[in-house]
Structure 1
Amino acid sequence: MNASRIPSTLGTGGATPTGRPRRSSRETLQDAATELFLEQGYEQTTVDDIARRAGVARATFFNYFPAKGDLLWADLDPVLESLPSALAAQPTGESPAIGVRTALVSLTGQVPVAPVLLVERLTIGAAAEAAHAGLPRMHGVDVALRRFTLSRTHARDGIPEAFAAGATGVLLAVGRRWLAAGSDRGSLGAAVDAGLAPLTDAFAPLLPPA
């Protein structure tokens, strides 16, 4: 369980706190949702419940999350959103297959612990919603990888697209296995690196640098 997403109920020196620690509205909503999903389940928790527990207006919720299901991916969204800039920072003069591997390993290495809501998605009754909310995110990964690969090589005939789709599939498969691995799951970055290694080795000669 990602303890960092559950606010402590104990104050310093044993004193009882008078309210939540100062946090952003986004973090407070995430904490409130995590508490409620674990207490009463995903389907039984409404947006109004989450806003009320967080102490914010219902409209504030939608300033940060378009839908309730987006809370399930909230811890990973900043990492996924950083992918285009991480790809753009990769050096030219090497196969884009190598750049994709480097960028994905670097970004996933920034995930310190498994997001509690994705780990507990079966327990809280949110497995289907987690998968549904994950689809546009994996599509976004595929688009970013495809654009980068096409821009960094003259290879065509569907090879860049096939590599991008394969790398996206590896990321998804490795991520699911990592979430299910339990307390000894290790580093997500290391798992992604191992998963991408054979794909990169196979495609790098087919994707020479432009």
Structure 2
Amino acid sequence: MTSPRSSARGRPPAASRELLQESAFELFIENGYTGTTVDQIATRAGVSRNTFFNYFDAKGEVFWVELDAATERLKTALADQPSPHAPATEAIRTAMLAAVAPFESHHVPFILTQYDLIGSAAEVQASAMSRFATQARLLSGYAQQHGVDSAVARAHAYSLIACVVAAAQEWAQSGPQRGRLEPYVHRAIDTVLVASPSSSV
């Protein structure tokens, strides 16, 4: 998990998504999600409110730095699959594992361990769903390009995203000995891919 620092002293002057995210997480722990404002996050990070909005569209967006990076890795990995004649199943598995590969035991996203600080904030749920929908479009689009029926491709894509979410939750709850996320995801997505006819995905 990204570990919030207890003091703003010594921060570098240059803003970044990670610095703003860290500042937000510190404040969420101190004040709760609903008790924290964008102005407070910007002040803690030592930047202006406008600078915050250069990086994020809303307060709830700070949770998804890691997920956005994973989506970019997924997009790149799908584009880099070597052969259009390889089974889509194998290409999708490879790309999804590449997307989660950087997540080590000490790098658990804040939202997986501190969700009780957020409550049922609609904006957070909406921003999560929009990102999962983007990932599902990438997966279903790839499958359709390889001859899979659009309805089947879409259904399997959302099933795979659900498997990753479940795997991430299990991983986050497994404690310091959890290891890397990738094996959890591998096991979870195979419950969908192995059960699917090779001609469908």
If the TM-score is normalised by the length of the shorter chain, which range does it land in? 0.7 to 0.9
Aligned AA (1:85) = T
Of stretches 155-164 and 170-179 in structure 1, the one that deviates more from structure 2 is: 155-164
- Distance in 1, matches of 2:72 and 2:126, equals 18
Counterpart of 1:147 in structure 2 is: 141
Confirm whether residue 158 of structure 1 aligns to residue 167 of structure 2: no
Counterpart of 2:92 in structure 1 is: 100
Counterpart of 2:25 in structure 1 is: 34
Counterpart of 2:75 in structure 1 is: 84
Provide the identity percentage: 33
Aligned AA (2:194) = D
From 112, 123, 140, the counterpart of 1:118: 112
Aligned AA (1:193) = H
Deviation at 1:172, TM superposition (A): 2.0
- Aligned Cα root-mean-square deviation (Å): 2.3
TM-score, normalised to structure 1, is 0.83
- Residue 203 of structure 1 aligns to a residue whose secondary structure is coil
Of stretches 167-176 and 94-103 in structure 1, the one that deviates more from structure 2 is: 167-176
Cα distance change of structure 1 residues 203 and 117 upon mapping to structure 2, 3 Å threshold: closer
Alignment check: 8 A CA contact 2:108 2:172 kept? yes
Counterpart of 2:165 in structure 1 is: 172
Alignment check: 8 A CA contact 2:140 2:150 kept? no
Confirm whether residue 64 of structure 1 aligns to residue 55 of structure 2: yes
> In the TM superposition, what whole-angstrom CA distance separates every residue of 1:140-169 from its partner, at most 9, and x where no partner exists?
1110001011112x2327332222222122
What is the aligned residue count?
197
Aligned AA (2:191) = P
From 32, 40, 44, the counterpart of 1:49: 40
> In the TM superposition, what whole-angstrom CA distance separates every residue of 1:168-200 from its partner, at most 9, and x where no partner exists?
221222223323333333321110000111322
Cα distance change of structure 1 residues 8 and 46 upon mapping to structure 2, 3 Å threshold: closer
